Amino acid sequence: MTATPTVLLTGFQPFGGEQVNPSWQAVSALHGARIAGHRVVARELPVAFGDSLKALRAALKDTQPALVLCVGQAGGRAQLSLERVAINLDDARIPDNAGRQPIDAPVVEGGPAAYFSTLPIKAMREALRAKGLPAEVSQTAGTYVCNHVFYGLMHALRRQRRVRAGFLHIPYSPAQAATHPGAPSLPVETVTAALRLMVRVALRTRSDARVAAGAEH
């Protein structure tokens, strides 16, 4: 009997003084779900340079996924941000949960300057907007642990062309935004529904939509 193909979703532990991380809350709600004939496996990653990639590589080995979407929180952003590019740079504004704060260090010594997402991010954005969900293609995943994981993910899969992968940033949850006056938010349940839609679109779309999704700044 042929094994059911797998989709790997990852979220992060809380960081920066927060009590929860909605990336893990949203992702974990889909653990065990079936989407377009694929089984979803959710894994939580530590907010720590180095350790996050060890956990990610272990998850990749365990699940042998057909598709990977890593999810992280970007407090202050108002939209679901489908990241286009990961850069080979760690430049931490604050220490990670292990107390490390790399500055101007490569994610992978000798690695290429950047990797692009291999997900159909424009088609995914269009599907989200069609459902009334705020979504954008983002041109920067930052230089903290999220970018570290995004770059490490694409580097790990660089020779596995059949495995499509990328990264999504999400806003604060409403509970978090209550302690950050004026900050935009999205309910965790909305993010979970959006993830289900994005995975379905990614599994069913081979060639990305040719629509404008650039940025002026």
Query: Which residues belong to the active site?
Result: 83, 146, 169
Residue 86, CA atoms < 13 Å, CB-side half-sphere: 31
Q: Which helix (H) or strand (E) holds 88?
A: none
Q: Which of 79, 75, 85 shows the shortest CA–CA distance to 166?
A: 85
Cα dist from 111 to 88, 102, 104, 131, 145, whole Å? 7, 17, 14, 38, 17
Q: Which of 173, 138, 207 shows the shortest CA–CA distance to 25?
A: 173
Cα dist from 165 to 150, 174, 188, 215, 217, whole Å? 9, 28, 22, 22, 25
